[in-house]
Amino acid sequence: MELAAAKLKFIEAWGKLGSEWGINRTMAQVHALLLISPEALTTEEIMETLSISRGNANMTLRDLIGWGLIEKQHKAGERKEYFFADKDVWNIARQVAKERKKRELEPVLKVLNELSTVTGDEKDPEFKTFKKSVTDINKLAINVDKTLETMLKAEESWFWGSVLKVFK
Amino acid sequence: MELAAAKLKFIEAWGKLGSEWGINRTMAQVHALLLISPEALTTEEIMETLSISRGNANMTLRDLIGWGLIEKQHKAGERKEYFFADKDVWNIARQVAKERKKRELEPVLKVLNELSTVTGDEKDPEFKTFKKSVTDINKLAINVDKTLETMLKAEESWFWGSVLKVFK
DNA sequence: TTAAACTTTCAAAAATTATTGAAAGTTTAT
DNA sequence: ATAAACTTTCAATAATTTTTGAAAGTTTAA
């Protein structure tokens, strides 16, 4: 496979994966583009390569910065802003995990906590079933939270070393 | 908090979580409803409780069956179909992991594999950067795949016991 | 059969989400 | 100050996803 074709395929695949994971396609594609680019790129270059509008490019870049996946770079003597992506895949994974934990897991844990204070008749099957589901989900969510917490602090080699050794 | 209010809140929260994870809101809500229901419910009851149309209810229930999250039940002497959800949260997590692995991770692994066959000039920064990103992502994806594979086979207590012990 | 009870389909409509692009805003150099 | 270079905003539009509901399909009982 040729490099040019491979790049397109990678951008497409990353975009699809993103959209399956609640990250919009364009955002994932811009990220993909910067990820495989050895040099920081300008808004202009990104707009052209991906055929997207200026407004879209601007908002997407802003979101990616918000996710901690890319950064702005200023070149001496130039007005333009350049953007580049962190190339360390483990950092990327951590960053995504961190953001999703904050945006999604934590609110859910909060609600589950509230819900576990529900009162009712212990003999009522409706009550018992509700309570059990909420409690069980809460336990699972707490375990997931703890695991993510560890991952956020861990070095990649240590993390996979440990996990895969256990699962041998 | 009252049981009735808590149920609504749970259905809402589960629906929101679902939509953040690429599962549509209605599907997640129907799942939530069945999860906290001690009895199997009919399409009619689900339609009413969640104020959704017959067509929507039917398709959603079919999808949930496809995900392995709910099952049909037939009651003796009745024409109607009843639906109930597996209440074991670990099974649910495994089932979701299994489906997403199949639908999302495996296609990505396939593409990454293809992309790692790309040819080019080892001195070209474009090529080097591309190759490194693809290779690194591939390694990460393989580790995720292995971990999921283990999870799919594991008992809940063993799984968390091992993972959390490592992360102590 | 036939008709009632129930399920499925799917084209059209509604709702949601993403994108555009032109105008407004900002910064820098002169 | 002014103008050029660049960035941001946001109302309008487009694209995508979800939902509806009525019609078609299926199963069962008599």
How many degrees, rounded to 5, is the angle at CA B17 between CA A68 and CA B4?
Answer: 145
In the block, tokens 């997590």 appear at B93
A168 confidence band (pLDDT: 50, 70, 90): low
Using a pLDDT cut of 70, give the percent of chain A over it.
99
Nearest CA in chain B to A139: B89
Per-residue pLDDT, B168: 59
Mean per-residue pLDDT of chain B:
95
Whether the predicted interface score ipTM is above 0.85: yes
What mean pLDDT is reported for chain A?
A: 95
Tell me the pLDDT band of A167, cut-offs 50, 70 and 90.
Answer: low
Residue-level pLDDT at B167: 65
pLDDT tens digits, B3-60: 999 999 999 999 999 998 889 999 999 999 999 999 999 999 999 999 999 999 999 9
In the stretch 22-61 of chain A, residues with CB closer than 8 A to chain B read 22, 35-39
CB-CB neighbors (< 8 A) of A131 in chain B: none
What are the tens digits of pLDDT across the range A119-162? 999 999 999 999 999 999 999 999 999 999 999 999 999 998 88
pLDDT in tens, A97-129: 999 999 999 999 999 999 999 999 999 999 999
Q: In what order do the strands lie in the sheet with B81-85?
A: B41-42, B81-85, B70-74
What is the CA A158 to C1' D13 distance in angstroms? 50
Q: Residue B150: which of A38, A147, A167 has the nearest Cβ?
A: A167
Is strand C within 7 Å of residue B61 (CB)?
yes
pLDDT at B112: 96
The beta-carbon neighbor of A104 closest among B17, B39, B114 is B17
- Sole residue written with tokens 């959800």: B85
Better pLDDT: B166 or A38: A38
Q: Which residues are CB-neighbours of A162 under 8 A, at least 6 positions away?
A: B166, B167
Chain C nucleotides close to protein (CB under 7 A) are 5-11, 17-23, 28
Encode burial over A54-80: b for 16+ CB neighbours within 10 A, e otherwise: eebbeebbebbeebebbeeeeeeeeee
Residue A2: count other Cβ atoms within 10 Å of its Cβ.
10
Contacts B146 to A, Cβ<8 Å: 164, 167
**What is the per-residue pLDDT across A33-47, written as a single tens digit (0 to 9) for each?**
999 999 999 999 999
- Closest residue to D4 measured CA to C1′: A79
Rounded Cα distance between B71 and B73, Å, is 7
* Closest alpha carbon to A49 in A31, A75, A69, A71: A31
Q: Which residues pair with A74 in a beta bridge?
A: A81
- Provide φ and ψ at A107, rounded to 5°: -60, -40
Which residues in chain B have their CB less than 8 angstroms from residue A21's CB? 21-22, 104
**Is the CB of residue A58 less than 8 Å from the CB of residue A46?**
no
Instruction: Flag whether residue B17 sits within 8 Å of chain A, measured between CB atoms.
Output: yes
Beta-bridged to residue B82, according to DSSP, are: B42, B73
- One-letter identity of residue B113: N
